Amino acid sequence: MQDTSDPRQLIISAKDGDMAAFGKLYELYFTPVFRYIFARTSQHQLSEDLAQTVFIKAFESLDRYQPTASPPLAYLFTIARNSVIDHWKKKKDILFQEEDAAVSNIVDRKQNPARDAEIKSSVGIITAAIQELPPDQQDVITMKFLQELSNAEIAQALGKSEDAVRQLQSRALKSLRVVSQKYEIS
Amino acid sequence: MKFPNLPDNIIEQALALYDQGKPVSAIIAAFPDHKAEVEDLFGFVSEIRHEGRQLPLPSRDALTHVLLSVSMDTQKHVAQKSPTASFGTFESFQSFVTGRWTVYGSVGVVAAMAFIIFINNFSATNQPIPLSPNDTKVAENTQQLVRESSVAQDAQGIGAATETASPTALMASPAMKSAGTATAGSDAILGAFFADASAEQALFDTEATAILANVDGATLTGLDTTIASYAY
C-alpha cells in the first residue's frame, strides 16, 4: 500500500483490492459517517449499525465508484443518506416519498412524547430539531455545519448545483432556528 | 426571531463571504442595515457547530465489527477477482462447488461417453470385414481356379517340385482357361493397350527414319552451328 492519507488515492488503492487502504479510509471516515447518521436518528446503536452498513455497502460498490465524480466522504454520505431513508421505510413498512419520511418521523415522535423527551435529553436541542426538518434540509445542515463539507462537496453528494445548495442552506437555517426556538420554549 | 426575518439573498451572501474565509466581524460590517440579524445568524451557526462537536463517538466494538465484516468481504472480493486464489471463505468454496463443479461434471460425463464410443468403434474395426456379393464371387472363382489348377497339374504329372514350369504353359492349361473368365476382361484391355503402344512406337520410328533420310549434310552442319552459338 502506498503511504498516503489522500482519501482519493486511498479509495483508488481500495478499488484495486488494497485492504489496508480501505482500512485507512474507514478509520478516517467512520466517525463522520456515524455522526451524520446520529444527527438524523439520535439513536446510538442504530447509528453504529447503519454506519457499519454504509462501509460494507461502500466496499461492495467500490467498482462503480468514480473518484473524479465525488470525494470519498461525499460518496459515503450519499450511501449513509440512502441507508437512513431505507431504515425509515423499513420501519414504517410502507413505501413513501423522501419528503414523507421526515413527516413520518415527526408524527412518530409526536405520538410518543417519552421518546421525544429522550431525544432532547440525550442530544442537544439543535440535533433534535434537525430531525424535524425535511430530509434535504437535514442533509445540508448536517453536511455543512456538523461535518463542515464545502458547498461543492455537498452539491456532489446531493446531486444538486452549488446555487441550489446555497438556497437550501438559507431555508434550512431559518427552519432550524424556528424549530429549535420551539424546543427551547417547551 | 432575528435572522429568519432576513431575505434569503442576504443570508446567502453572508454565508458566501464566510465560506471565502472572511472574519465574522467583517461580514457583519458588510451589512450595516441588517447588523443584528447577521450577528444572530452567525451566533446560530456557531451554536450548530458547537453541538456537532458534542455528538457522541462510535464505540470500539462497532469499529471492530466493521473491520471484520469488511475483511470477510475483501477475501470474497479477492477470491472472485482471482480464480486461482485460495478459498477465502466457506461461501466462496460453496459457490465454487455449486457453480464450477457443475461444468466440470458435465465435461467429465461427455468425455466418458466419448471414450466408450471410441472403444466400441475400435472393437468393431477388428471384426472381419463383411464381403459384398461381388467380392464373394471373385473369391469363389479364385479358390476354384486354384483347385482346378492343382487337379490339372496332377493330371499332367506336374508335382509340387515342378512349380517353376513356365507361366505360359500354366496359363495354357485347361484349368486356367476355364477359370480365366474372372480376369479375361482385364487381360484383354491390357493386351490391347500394349499392342497400341507398340504400333505407335513403330510408326514413330518409321517417320523419324524417313525425315532423317531427307535431310542433307549441309543442313545438319548448319544446325550444329546454330546449336553451338547458344552454348555457353
- The DSSP letter of residue A63 is G
pLDDT at B155: 63
Return the residue in B9, B11, B45, B70 with the most chain A beta carbons within 10 A, the one to mutate for interface testing.
Answer: B70
Whole-number Cα distances in Å, B18 to A176, B24, B27, B53, B68: 19, 7, 7, 19, 42
Q: Give Cα B188 distance to the centre of its chain.
A: 53
Using an 8 Å CB-CB cutoff, list chain A residues near B3.
173-174, 177
| Rounded Cα distance, A170 and A136, in Å | 12
Chain B CA closest to residue A125 = B51
List, in sequence order, the alpha helices (H) in B173-216: 174-179, 184-214
Using an 8 Å CB-CB cutoff, list chain B residues near A30.
58, 62-63, 66
Q: Supply φ then ψ for residue B163, to 5 degrees.
A: -65, -15
pLDDT at B35: 93
pLDDT at A171: 94
**Torsion angle of C-alpha atoms A21, A22, A27, A30, degrees rounded to 10:** 160
% helix / strand / coil in chain B, to the nearest 5?
80, 0, 20
- The DSSP letter of residue A128 is H
Amino acid (one-letter) located at B26 = A
CB contact under 8 A, A23 and B67: yes
Q: Pick from B49, B67, B73: which is nearest to A145 by CB?
A: B49
CB contact under 8 A, B41 and A173: yes
Using an 8 Å CB-CB cutoff, list chain B residues near A125.
51
| Rounded Cα distance, B39 and A130, in Å | 21
pLDDT at B227: 62
Residue A110 has pLDDT above 70, yes or no: no
| Rounded Cα distance, A41 and A106, in Å | 12
Using an 8 Å CB-CB cutoff, list chain A residues near B18.
none
Q: Give Cα A50 distance to the centre of its chain.
A: 10
Cell numbers standing for residue B218: 549441309
Q: ipTM, 2 decimals?
A: 0.76
pLDDT at B38: 94
Segments of A11-114 assigned E as strands: none
Q: Which residue has the higher pLDDT, B223 or A179?
A: A179
pLDDT at B30: 94
Return the residue in A40, A174, A175, A180 with the most chain B beta carbons within 10 A, the one to mutate for interface testing.
Answer: A174
Lowest mean pLDDT: which of A20-24, A79-83, A123-127, B22-26? A123-127
CB contact under 8 A, B55 and A39: yes
Read off the pLDDT band of A46 (50, 70, 90): very high
The 3-state DSSP class for residue A30 equals helix
Cell numbers standing for residue B116: 466408450
pLDDT at A184: 73
State how far residue A69 is from chain B, nearest Cα, in angstroms.
22
pLDDT at A128: 87
Query: Residue range A60-67: average pLDDT?
Result: 85
CB contact under 8 A, B58 and A34: yes
Amino acid (one-letter) located at A117 = A
The 3-state DSSP class for residue A88 equals helix
Residue A51 has pLDDT above 50, yes or no: yes
- The DSSP letter of residue B6 is S
Lowest mean pLDDT: which of A58-62, A142-146, B58-62? B58-62
For helices A19-41 and B60-81, angle between their N-to-C axes, nearest 10 degrees:
130
Q: Beta-carbon neighbour count of residue B225 at 10 Å?
A: 8
What's this model's pTM, rounded to 2 decimal places?
0.53
Whole-number Cα distances in Å, B112 to A30, B101, B125, B126: 56, 16, 20, 22
Q: Pick from A48, A55, A141: which is nearest to B48 by CB?
A: A141
Q: Which residue has the higher pLDDT, B36 or A120?
A: B36
pLDDT at B162: 43
Cβ A70 vs Cβ A157: under 8 Å? yes
| Rounded Cα distance, A80 and A76, in Å | 6
Cβ B3 vs Cβ A174: under 8 Å? yes
Using an 8 Å CB-CB cutoff, list chain B residues near A126.
47-48, 51
pLDDT at B201: 75
Q: Is B1 on the interface with A (CB under 8 A)?
A: yes
Cβ A148 vs Cβ A139: under 8 Å? no
Residues of chain B with pLDDT under 70: 62-104, 122-132, 135, 138-139, 146, 149-187, 189-190, 193, 208, 211-232
Q: How many helices (H) and strands (E) does chain B have?
A: 10, 0
pLDDT at A144: 93
pLDDT at B128: 59
DSSP line for B43-59: HHHHHHHHHHHTSPPPP
pLDDT at A167: 93
pLDDT at B149: 64
